[in-house]
Amino acid sequence: MDMLELIKERRSPRGFFEKQISEEDLNKIFDAARWAASSYNGQPWRFIYADKEKNPELYATLLDIMVEFNQAWAKAAPVLMITMTTVKYEHSGEDYKHAWHDLGLAVGTMSVMAQSLGISLHQMGGFDALKAREVLNIPDRLEPVTMIAMGYGGLPGNLPLDIYKMEIIPRVRKEIEEIAFNKPFGKI
């Protein structure tokens, strides 16, 4: 498949089919994260994930960390995850200024890998980071950044009406001319 088409097909669904993600596909998705670029090859990304059927207790713990709106739809996803990043470089102990950037790159490669397998990731900023730290025993050297619902996107008809409406609105993007420039900004 054309790469740009694959990238454009990626979306963040709020409805999911009741279909498990195989161990093999999950490994491919995490493997894709490993190969992302990172500052000083610091590889700051960390993930705690739970499969709804295989690890229901941890799944419930992860779901409970999310804000109510996200719980309403994410509970249909077969896999939930929290992403974290290290806050210091391992090699020097200095502040890892690009840690969030590098975690984002890893999640980006995971998204594209997943998309090629027909699997979607829906990232969330709507969760309680303090609660996450407490219930998951996240050490100080790591910072919780996002949560992710992962699965085979579909069945929007199962969603509450307000969320269903969000699912069917057209996806919009800025034009290339609005984000990429071949000259400096003008003086104000």
Interface residues with ligand FMN (CB under 6 A) are 11-12, 70, 123-126, 146, 171
- C-beta of 111: minimal distance to ligand FMN in Å? 9
**Which is nearer to ligand FMN, 114 or 188 (by Cβ)?**
114
**Which is nearer to ligand FMN, 53 or 64 (by Cβ)?**
64
User: Which residues, at least 6 apart from 66, have a Cβ–Cβ distance to it below 8 Å?
Assistant: 74, 124, 126, 127, 128, 147
**Which is nearer to ligand FMN, 24 or 178 (by Cβ)?**
178
Shortest-Cβ-distance residue relative to ligand FMN: 126
Strand partners, 85: 45, 143
**Which is nearer to ligand FMN, 20 or 123 (by Cβ)?**
123
- C-beta of 91: minimal distance to ligand FMN in Å? 27
- C-beta of 94: minimal distance to ligand FMN in Å? 25
**Which is nearer to ligand FMN, 11 or 165 (by Cβ)?**
11
Place of tokens 């454009």: 8
- C-beta of 183: minimal distance to ligand FMN in Å? 29
Within 70-129, strands assigned E span 79-86, 120-124
> Could you give the CA distance from residue 42 to residue 77 in angstroms, rounded to a whole number?
30
Specify whether the CB–CB gap between 25 and 119 falls below 8 A: yes
Within the chain, strands assigned E span 45-51, 79-86, 120-124, 142-151
Q: Which of 63, 135, 145 is nearest to 101 (CA)?
A: 145
- C-beta of 182: minimal distance to ligand FMN in Å? 26
